[in-house]
Amino acid sequence: MSTAMINHRGPEFAALSARVTERLKYFFQTQSDVLIFTAAGTGALEVAVVNTISPGDKVLAVSIGVFGDRFANIAKRYGAKVTKLDFEWGKAADPDAIRRALAADPAIKAVLVTHNETSTGVTNDLAAISAIVREADKLLLVDAVSSLSAIDLPVDAWGCDVVATGSQKGWMVPPGLAMVSFSERAWQAYRACTTPRFYFDAGEAKRYQEKGQTPWTPALSLYFALDVALDLMMKEGRENIFARHARLAEKTRQGIEALGLTLFADRTHASNTVTAVKAPAGIPAKQISRAMREEEGVVIAAGQGRLENEIFRFGHLGYVNDSDIDEALAALARVCQRLGVPTLASRVN
Ligand SMILES: Cc1ncc(COP(=O)(O)O)c(C=O)c1O
């Protein structure tokens, strides 16, 4: 990332852009377009909405947590008529309920869904959901910010129309790049879409990508980082990366349970990139995350939204290995012992 800046309208950037885009398509498992915007993950979600949904369009927004709510809010803010389909936090969306909601309102044009809900540590059954959305012939917009590259998401095979992710998660790159795929159906929707947009115009991004550029100045340092991250990822192999995340997630879940703590997410849909843990009775989650940071030098997250003090979360995605998990679990054991978590005290040496 400390490489000297290059001309972003010159041949070096064109080569870098082509190299990065080609490999992103491999990880998105798509033959369609993958566009890169300089933005946070939320920008990727906004790209999905402003390029395919017009004011007044009916949208079904499936939410299982904070990020599902955010996706719905973006669509609402741009004038879509949003039908919200909420599920209990900690559980996955029920595909049959989505089928029923689509049948109940044939005017619905698009479905918004979070693949991996980072706020609760739950991964939706996107294979089943996408099959239902395809059958109903609706547009499918997917928030894959905390899943893509770490959890299998074959974009073309599942018929996902717009899939949005962010550089700071499984891609192992600092925050600031938003990567978004567009299917042919998504481009059809783009052509009909009347929502005003400028910076996030996907058509402009595609037009410039074809000549090896971006419409606006890109975050070059992040492209340099993504280029190297993709080298590492190609070397490890896509399926091996999925398998490593699955293995480390299972190790985390087992380690948490071995400490006598309770997992928040329904185990059948527990995420392979983030594990949410119920705070022990009488101990606010924030107290645990503070002690982990201040006493053990391990940064974990407390809950978000109404779960702020109910759960704490371990992120295990991207550049993560067995010893990271071992050390974090050992630190958690010591913190819980010091805080006098009763189920645990007897088990820690
Ligand atoms: C599932 C999901 N969607 C969206 C976002 C928003 O990304 P950002 O914070 O980069 O805007 C996040 C961030 O954690 C996320 O986990």
pLDDT above 90 as % of the chain: 96
The reply to whether ligand 1 has any atom less than 6 angstroms from the CB of 42 is: yes
The reply to whether ligand 1 has any atom less than 6 angstroms from the CB of 123 is: no
Q: How many angstroms separate the alpha carbon of residue 67 from the centre of ligand 1?
A: 7
The predicted-structure confidence for 282-333, as pLDDT tens digits, reads as follows 999 999 999 999 999 999 999 998 999 999 999 999 999 999 999 999 999 9
Q: Are 225 and 174 in contact (CB under 8 A)?
A: yes
The per-residue pLDDT for 50 is 98
The reply to whether ligand 1 has any atom less than 6 angstroms from the CB of 40 is: yes
As a whole number, the mean pLDDT across the chain is 97
Residue 347: band (very low, low, confident or very high) from pLDDT cuts 50, 70, 90: low
- Stretch 341-347: mean pLDDT: 62
The per-residue pLDDT for 30 is 98
The predicted-structure confidence for 189-245, as pLDDT tens digits, reads as follows 999 999 999 999 999 999 999 999 999 999 999 999 999 999 999 999 999 999 999
Residue 342: band (very low, low, confident or very high) from pLDDT cuts 50, 70, 90: confident
Atom of ligand 1 minimally distant from the CA of 43: 11
User: Ligand 1: which of 38, 42, 126 to mutate, judged by most atoms within 8 Å of the beta carbon?
Assistant: 42
pLDDT of 346 higher than 90: no
The per-residue pLDDT for 160 is 98
Residue 344: band (very low, low, confident or very high) from pLDDT cuts 50, 70, 90: low
Atom of ligand 1 minimally distant from the CA of 147: 1
The reply to whether ligand 1 has any atom less than 6 angstroms from the CB of 166 is: yes
